[in-house]
Amino acid sequence: MGSNRQDRYPRTGRARDAVDYAAVFLAVVTPLAVITPDLTVADANEAYLATVERTQEEVIGTPLFELLPPDGTDKRAVEGPEALRSSLLEVLRTGKPDVMDVLRYPVRDQRTGKFRDRFFAPVNVPILDGSGHVALVLHHAEEVTSYVGGDFDRARGLAGGSVPPGYAHTRDLVRRNRRLALQASHDRVVSRVLQDAMLTALPEPDDLALVARYIANTEADQVGGDWYDAAVLPSGSTMVAIGDVVGHDIRAAAGMGQLRGLLRALAWDREESPASILTRVDRAMPGLRIDTLATAILGSIESLGTSGSRQLRWSNAGHPPPLLVAGDGTVEILETDNDLPLGAGLGTPRSDHIHRLAPGSTLFFYTDGLVERRNRSREVGVARLSGALRRCHHLPLDEILDEVIAAVAGNAPEDDIAVLAICVAPTDRCSESEPHPRGGPAGAGTRGTRRARPCSVDSCVSAEGDPIPRGSA
């Protein structure tokens, strides 16, 4: 959100100020060298000096490939230095880290003057300056010679010039890990694209204001199957839905897309209660081979005449309960005996529930990533959410979402979060105060949150997060 880590985590920033990073660098047992754009060694730690068998005076300020010259008597010996040079130049060019294959690099023995085969698993990482350009490269030179092992000359002779078995095994492990990392990165990109495509702009029905947010978690290797949806049906009622597919990978994102599309189509197909529609979803999933499990709430907001009141008819398939915020800030937890999640099996009983929605009230749907953390139960999270909504209810609707998410989930969500809020017979309070900075209409699947006026844990929820009794807050 434009702030650096120290701004977002002031306590962490103060702790970091007390760390002597020069001492840490020198003490790290992994060989590390800092390389400049002209491939000169700017600094090196003790482990690196021991690896190359040189003193600090001999290393610092010396071009890397003068420090470790190739063996001119062996044509194959230049492959290692050339591969290392190419990796360093690529990191300088792209600004992306490079995990290299295990590298054979003959190094001159300072005592005998002879070259000796040594094997390394190099990692080269860019160090960026304040403008985001690569200023230096951190060269991680982990030696794996002892792991490769063996008499290399004899091994090559027996194998007819092939590499030693230990080397081949280490190289294959590195390559396999690299392929897995690339596949995981690809899966994350595809999953994000799927999620963005599915989280479309919300409708604008008469006398209702809808705003939604989607926030990705901070763990790069995790992708969720959270979604929200809303549509004005032919009957004139407004269908609202929120759900969370089990899993954190590309299959979860694909399952989310399938379920969301199926639920939307069945809701549009005929006028039925939410429980009946979810029952049809259960029945269709095996036949369509949608092999997943998901919690969800499907609701229908229906008019009760000219008074401006509405009623919510909903069915809950194992999802966290929705919250209803009255115009005066009173929060009611619409908790029921939940039915089983979607995909739990045919014949799962489904129930409908009805609740009146007064003009000026706001419905709040969310996924468990908002209220659950590793060190916090769902009950405590829902209580904190209730308190945040009560204390921030006076803000415009879009700001309520941003502030409450920040107050309850913090700056580092552990899971993806989807939130959908609906204001009944909206007043000026329910309208957006300004366009969302991420572009597009608020609620169109935005990532991240906009911080409007601070509505911190101190001001929006009790510091203790005391559980709020069922029924009201």
Q: What is the band of 225 on the pLDDT scale with cuts at 50, 70, 90?
A: confident
Better-predicted residue by pLDDT, 338 or 72: 338
Q: What is the dihedral of CA 82, 88, 93, 98, to 10 degrees?
A: 110
DSSP code of residue 430: G
Instruction: Find the helix or strand (DSSP H, E) in which 194 lies.
Output: helix 165-198
Q: Are 266 and 248 in contact (CB under 8 A)?
A: no
pLDDT at 285: 92
Name residues whose C-beta falls within 8 Å of residue 120's C-beta, 6 or more positions apart in sequence. Answer: 102, 103, 105, 141, 142, 143, 144, 145
CA pair distance 213, 196, nearest whole angstrom: 11
Report the Cα 19 to chain-centroid distance in Å. 28
Residue 175 has pLDDT above 60, yes or no: yes
CA pair distance 466, 187, nearest whole angstrom: 39
pLDDT at 168: 59
Span between the terminal Cα atoms of the chain, in Å: 32
Q: What is the band of 3 on the pLDDT scale with cuts at 50, 70, 90?
A: very low
| pLDDT tens by residue, 346-363 | 777 899 999 999 999 999
Q: Lowest-confidence range among 52-66, 158-172, 204-218, 408-422?
A: 158-172
CB-count exposure of residue 265 (10 Å: 0-12, 13-18, 19+): exposed
Start and end residues for every CATH 3.60.40.10 domain found in the chain: 199-460
Q: Lowest-confidence range among 50-54, 69-73, 330-334, 426-430?
A: 426-430
Tell the CATH superfamily of the 25-189 domain.
Answer: PAS domain (3.30.450.20)
Instruction: Find the helix or strand (DSSP H, E) in which 59 lies.
Output: helix 56-59
**pTM listed for this prediction:** 0.58
Q: What is the band of 328 on the pLDDT scale with cuts at 50, 70, 90?
A: very high
Q: What is the band of 300 on the pLDDT scale with cuts at 50, 70, 90?
A: very high
Cα maximum dimension of the chain: 97
Start and end residues for every CATH 3.30.450.20 domain found in the chain: 25-189
CA pair distance 295, 312, nearest whole angstrom: 19
Which amino acid makes up residue 174?
Answer: V
User: Beta-strand (E) ranges in 386-429?
Assistant: 417-424
Average pLDDT, the chain: 77
How many angstroms separate the Cα of 48 from the Cα of each of 26, 38, 131, 139, 140? Answer: 9, 19, 29, 10, 9
Helices (H), 128-164: 145-148, 152-158
CA pair distance 344, 354, nearest whole angstrom: 24
Tell the CATH superfamily of the 199-460 domain.
Answer: PPM-type phosphatase domain (3.60.40.10)
CA pair distance 244, 333, nearest whole angstrom: 19
| pLDDT tens by residue, 48-78 | 998 888 899 999 999 988 887 766 666 665 6
Exposure of 330 in the CB half-sphere (CA atoms within 13 A): 12
CA pair distance 411, 389, nearest whole angstrom: 18
CB atoms within 10 A of CB 68: 20
Instruction: Find the helix or strand (DSSP H, E) in which 14 lies.
Output: helix 10-17
CB atoms within 10 A of CB 467: 15
CB-count exposure of residue 446 (10 Å: 0-12, 13-18, 19+): buried
